[in-house]
């Protein structure tokens, strides 16, 4: 049972008031930060006072959260103030000290974080409390697949940079540091944010778009949370596999097209693994692929800003071309056997493409990926896509029905579904 069903108890937690104070202070600081994360000369005095108050509030958390991490955050805050608050904040010490929370326990983090939407280069202070909540099946899969960095968590109290968008995860590379030490140190996935997306966006869209009587339509929030937990675990696992694993070649795959290729690759492998398993969370997770990776991002995102949107355009085109999906009478229908066959073929294609990339100069990656993608989606320029007719129609239909394209979370909405 996800903790969101017990949301009224959070205010009684010993960490609640200090963290609420830290979140409010960080939101005030965020409003003053420049793009590089520092402050203008006019704001440094006020920022110094607020950062001192943040440091004091951190001391009140020492009995609840690991002291070595809290001490490291305070050290980085004071080092930043000594260096000058007009400079970019660098939290290498804090990142090295950050440890994963145990299952069924609370965790806390405060970092300067790059824009999680990847639409700007801005850096802002973010603070949050989460609860690690993972089903027993995940531990079984960890023993089979041996990936330990992934954590399925519920975001409970957080600054605006984590609540003002549909981004569901946080990785070490998003932290502002001088030198990245270990990209596999952690991978936080905020799956209660996904519940809001599913019930407010994905499912209402599917009600008029998808003709299939999928099991996921009748699933409870707990079942959706667990299914997404398994889906994201495999998705994260496959980032660190293959010819060009992301932790080794993340710079080459960091462009919009590179990220699009990487998401197509890992989601294809994720679906094939899920569809071969019999457990209920895996079957539901395979159905979530047919929603999130086929149409949801086409509705919430724009192709000029989002590689996730590009993956939607691609997967829909690919499945339509290979018989895995049909779009008739303004509805999508799936042939699940043909989906598996199509994606098995795609996995072989992607493996061949990854081998080609391995033997190519890094500055040719985008050109090679664009050439491959152009077999299935129409490019409006070198590596560029515009909104498709399907996406334009879907957005019009969704907005007509009052379906939001983005969601702003609050402490209440993060604990909404029980």
pLDDT in tens, 181-195: 777 788 899 988 899
User: Burial, 218: exposed, middle or buried (Cβ in 10 Å; 0-12, 13-18, 19+)?
Assistant: exposed
Please report the pLDDT score of residue 180 as a whole number.
77
Higher pLDDT, 80 or 248: 80
**265-290 confidence digits (pLDDT tens):** 999 999 999 999 999 999 999 999 99
pLDDT band at 297 (very low <50, low <70, confident <90, very high): very high
Whole-number CA gyration radius for the chain: 22
Band (pLDDT 50/70/90 cuts) for residue 244 is: confident
What is the per-residue pLDDT across 215-229, written as a single tens digit (0 to 9) for each? 999 999 999 999 999
Per-residue pLDDT band at 337 (split at 50, 70, 90) = very high
Two tokens at 84? 């000058």
Q: The tokens of 377 are what? A: 């989606």
Q: Residue 169: beta bridge partners? A: 189
| Options 3.30.540, 3.30.60, 3.40.50, 3.30.1490; CATH of 3-192 | 3.30.540
Q: Is the dihedral of CA 118, 120, 124, 128 positive or negative?
A: negative
- Distance, CA of 174 to CA of 197 (rounded, Å): 22
Print the SS3 string covering the chain. Answer: CCHHHHHHHHHHCCCHHHHHHHHHHHHHHHHHCCCCCCCCHHHHHHHHHHHHHHHHHHHCCCCCCCHHHHHHHHHHHHHHHHHCCCCCCCCHHHHHHCCCCCCCCEEEEEEEEECCCCCCCCEEEEEEEEEECCCHHHHHHHHHHCCCCEEEEEEEEECHHHHCCCCCEECHHHECCCCCCCCCCCEEEEHHHHHHHHHHHHHHHHHHHECCCCHHHHCCHHHHHHHHHHHHHHHHHHHCCCCCCHHHHCCCCCCHHHHHHHHHHHHHHHHHHHHCCCCHHHHHHHHHHHHHHHHHHHHHCCCCCCHHHHHHHHHHHHHHHCCCEEEECCEEEECHHHHHHHHHHHHHHHHHHHHHHHCCCHHHHHHHHHHHHCCCCCCCECCECCCCHHHHHHHHHHHHCCCCCCCCCCCCHHHCCC
pLDDT score recorded for residue 1: 47
Contact present, 203 and 417 (Cβ < 8 Å): no
Q: Say which residue, 251 or 134, is predicted with more confidence.
A: 134
DSSP 8-state class, residue 355? H
DSSP state of 384: B
> What pLDDT is stored for residue 121 in this prediction?
87
Q: What is the pLDDT of residue 28?
A: 97
Residue 3 pLDDT class (50, 70, 90 cuts):
low
How much of the chain exceeds pLDDT 90, in percent?
67
Non-local (6+) Cβ contacts of 405 within 8 A are 201, 299, 300, 395, 398, 399
Domain boundaries, the chain: 3-192, 210-387
**How confident is the model at residue 7, as a pLDDT?**
55
The token pair at 232 is 């994201």
Write down the pTM of the prediction. Answer: 0.89
By C-alpha distance, which of 200, 148, 177 is closest to 413?
200
Close Cβ partners of 337 (under 8 Å, ≥ 6 residues apart): none
Minimum mean pLDDT range among 133-147, 327-341, 379-393: 379-393
Tokens of 61: 């958390």
CA-wise closest residue to 280 among 238, 359, 222, 233: 222
Q: Residue 153: pLDDT above 90? A: yes
**Pairwise pLDDT comparison (11 vs 213), residue with the higher score:** 213
pLDDT of residue 2: 56
CA distances, 392 to each of 296, 303, 304, 340, 397 (Å): 13, 11, 14, 28, 9
């Amino acid at each position: 049972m996800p903790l969101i069903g017990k949301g009224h108890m959070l205010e009684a937690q010993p960490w609640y008031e200090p963290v609420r104070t830290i979140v409010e202070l960080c939101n005030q600081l965020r409003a003053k930060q420049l793009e590089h994360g520092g402050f203008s000369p006019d704001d440094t005095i006020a920022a110094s006072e607020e950062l001192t108050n943040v440091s004091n509030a951190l001391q009140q958390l020492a009995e609840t959260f690991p002291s070595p991490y809290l001490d490291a955050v305070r050290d980085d805050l004071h080092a930043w103030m000594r260096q000058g608050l007009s400079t970019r904040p660098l939290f290498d010490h804090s990142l090295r000290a950050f440890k994963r929370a145990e299952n069924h326990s609370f965790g806390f983090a405060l970092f300067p974080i790059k824009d999680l939407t990847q639409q700007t280069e801005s850096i802002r202070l973010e603070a949050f409390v989460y609860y690690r909540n993972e089903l027993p099946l995940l531990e079984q899969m960890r023993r089979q697949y041996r990936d330990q960095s992934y954590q399925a968590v519920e975001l409970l109290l957080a600054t605006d940079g984590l609540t003002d968008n549909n981004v569901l995860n946080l990785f070490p590379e998003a932290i502002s540091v001088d030198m990245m030490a270990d990209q596999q140190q952690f991978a936080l996935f905020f799956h209660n944010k996904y519940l809001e997306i599913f019930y407010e966006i994905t499912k209402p869209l599917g009600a008029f778009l998808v003709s299939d009587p999928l099991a996921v339509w009748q699933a409870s929030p707990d079942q959706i949370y667990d299914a997404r937990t398994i889906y994201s675990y495999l998705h994260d696992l496959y980032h660190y596999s293959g010819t060009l694993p992301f932790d080794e070649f993340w710079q080459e795959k960091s462009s919009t097209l590179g990220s699009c290729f990487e998401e197509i690759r890992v989601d294809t492998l994720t679906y094939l693994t899920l569809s071969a398993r019999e457990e209920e969370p895996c079957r539901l997770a395979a159905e979530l692929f047919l929603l999130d990776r086929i149409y949801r991002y086409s509705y919430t995102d724009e192709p000029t800003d989002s590689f996730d949107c590009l993956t939607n355009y691609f997967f829909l085109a690919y499945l339509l071309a290979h018989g895995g999906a049909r779009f008739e009478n303004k509805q999508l229908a799936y042939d699940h056997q043909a989906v598996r066959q199509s994606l098995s073929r795609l996995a072989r294609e992607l493996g061949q493409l990854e081998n080609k990339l391995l033997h190519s100069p890094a500055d040719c990656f985008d050109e090679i990926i664009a050439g491959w993608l152009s077999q299935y989606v129409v490019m409006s320029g070198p590596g560029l896509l515009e909104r498709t007719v399907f996406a334009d129609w879907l957005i019009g239909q969704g907005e007509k029905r009052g379906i939001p394209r983005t969601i702003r979370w609050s402490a209440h909405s993060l604990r909404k579904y029980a």
